[in-house]
Amino acid sequence: MTEGSSTSTVDLDALASLAKQRGFIFQNSEIYGGMASTWDYGPLGAELKRNIKDAWWRTFVWERDDMVGLDSSILMHPEVWRASGHVDSFTDPLVDCLVCRQRWREDQLEERKWRASGG
């Protein structure tokens, strides 16, 4: 935070590093080399996640008369994915960095660029 400023920016990498140091999250299968973009929650992380979900549920389901809760599976019969167009036309372009060997979704890179430009 800069002096005289009431706002601060948080570096996502620094936040993730702190969460790992404090035991909120752990990279999935870390002792076996890990799996990219997959995390397990430690005791405090599991509690934090539950509290956030409960607050969300309270705000968007319990406190509204026009909403009901639904907890459905993401594993579905293949016909559901065909009917929705996901099988025939869904694409999620990925971009590989040849220097750091990381992979990002193209839309995430565009959003980062937009935010960096002050958008």
Domain boundary assignment for the chain? 12-67+92-116
Confidence at residue 118, expressed as pLDDT on a 0 to 100 scale: 60
Q: Is the pTM of this model over 0.75?
A: no
Confidence at residue 1, expressed as pLDDT on a 0 to 100 scale: 44
As a whole number of angstroms, the distance between CA 88 and CA 81 comes to: 9
C-alpha torsion sign, points 72, 78, 80, 81:
positive
Task: Give the closest residue to 54 by CA, choosing from 66, 74, 44, 69.
Answer: 69
What are the mean pLDDT values of the chain's consecutive 10-residue runs (119 residues total)?
Answer: 60 90 92 88 96 98 96 89 89 85 82 60
